[in-house]
Structure 1
Amino acid sequence: MSLDTLRERLAERLLPPSDWRLEAGPVRSDFDLNPGASRWVEGPLKPAAVLITLVATDDGARVIMTRRADSLARHTGQIAFPGGRLDPGETAVEAALREAWEEVALDLASVTVLGLSDAYETGTGYLVTPVVGWLECVPTLTPSPDEVAEVFEVPWDILMDPAMLRRDHLETPAGVRRWFWSLTHEDRYIWGVTAGIVRALRLRLYGKEGEPALATAEDAA
């Protein structure tokens, strides 16, 4: 395993932050598994960003994730990356870093931004840009109680293993079946947009399922 190999792959395969454009459209979406479905809300997509932070450890790379506070109005208790809507005039990188500071008090000076993954359209009308950052040591984090119930790390190998991903579904009140990606690590169920973003990152780095065994092995912990 080589953390250097992984970092090089990320820097090589991700979109440079300077190439980000607010008007760019989605590459992946909730509708990839639900062709023909309509968005739950009308109007233009609302720009947002999340920070996917890889932490270099002696046991390999790990990824910082959060469990959303139960007091939030929407998506309570769900697993997510730190992130949120862009403020006027912000870039995706600026928004992702700001949100990480606000949600878990991540020291932004310690984060090296490696690039951007594929923009993702959600069924709730957001266009989410995943920003990928790198930390050379395990950070001290303090979750904001108003937003985050728990902050934890998931091994990179788990997130990038195609065997961990599965298709799940739920039934809407109208009786419509909505499909989404999901994975489970320990007792945590990662699903929906977060799992879709994870899968999109894996495809960008390693290609289609079934093809990248050797490449993933090079980066495995």
Structure 2
Amino acid sequence: MSHATLKERLAEKLAPVEGWRAETGAVRSDFDLNPGASRWVSGPLKPAAVLIPVIADPEGARVLLTRRADSLTKHTGQVAFPGGRIDPGETAVEAALREAREEVDLDPAAVTVLGLSDAYETGTGYLVTPVIGWIDTLPPLTASPAEVAEIFQAPWDFLMDPANHSREHLEAPAGVKRWFWAMTWNEQYIWGATAGIIRALRARLYGDEPNLPASAAEDAA
């Protein structure tokens, strides 16, 4: 039960950054819970990347998340990982680190990139590459007021425990239900693509067991 076992598992199970390609197809998506649903937006998927910062806190590994600014025109107030669109010529890692610097002033030098989780298609037309970064000591952060209303951390153990995951839905037009994953930590409602990306990372690391596997308990610290 240590940070070392978690860090080793991440390095072993994640995809190497060298293998990233912009044209890689999605492995998981918002449509996993909505089979048969047509895509909600037209046109090619827009490449994006998020940084999942895993912090080696002495009281237990934690994951850094943000609550988006209320002034944004899209996804107002939603919980998200630092991230955004991949600019031309950028890799997923470069984009994720750049966005984290812009959104919360996270110094890229403080992040050890361990690998990539499964590409995720969102209902809003993005193909998101999750970049997992390890942070031994979290430097001071400052939220960009134009993009981020709040920075917070959630325990790794909480996010990886399926007992904390629930299937919920919104009523779409014509009475069709749109299903999504959700989890709530200290009144922070984590849902949609962010929750789906967390679920996909858990499956990649520990499999699709409905209960917390023993391997996940070993990683708890």
Shift of 1:175: 2.4
Q: Which amino acid aligns with 1:170?
A: L
Q: Using the alignment, how far apart are the partners of 2:165 and 2:98 within structure 1?
A: 30
SS in 1 for 2:96: helix
SS in 2 for 1:127: strand
Q: Using the alignment, how far apart are the partners of 1:206 and 1:212 within structure 2?
A: 9
Q: Using the alignment, how far apart are the partners of 1:151 and 1:211 within structure 2?
A: 29
Residue 90 (structure 1) aligns with: 90
SS in 1 for 2:182: strand
Q: Which amino acid aligns with 2:163?
A: A
SS in 2 for 1:57: coil
SS in 1 for 2:56: strand
Q: Which amino acid aligns with 1:18?
A: E
Within-5 A mapping of 1:33-182: 33-182=33-182
Shift of 1:173: 3.6
Shift of 1:39: 1.5
TM-score w.r.t. the length of structure 2 is 0.98
Runs (5+) with no aligned partner, structure 1: none
Q: How many corresponding residue pairs?
A: 221
The answer to which of 207-216 and 42-51 deviates more is 207-216
Deviations 1:118-174 (A, max 9, x none): 000011110000000001012210000000000011110011011000100001244
Q: Using the alignment, how far apart are the partners of 1:39 and 1:182 within structure 2?
A: 21
Runs (5+) with no aligned partner, structure 2: none
Within-5 A mapping of 1:184-203: 184-203=184-203
The answer to which of 206-215 and 22-31 deviates more is 206-215
Deviations 1:18-37 (A, max 9, x none): 01011110000011000111
Q: Using the alignment, how far apart are the partners of 1:52 and 1:42 within structure 2?
A: 28
TM-score w.r.t. the length of structure 1 is 0.98
Q: Which amino acid aligns with 2:23?
A: E
Shift of 1:211: 6.1
Shift of 1:201: 0.1
Shift of 1:176: 1.8
Cα RMSD (Å): 0.9
Shift of 1:220: 1.1
Residue 12 (structure 2) aligns with: 12
SS in 2 for 1:7: helix
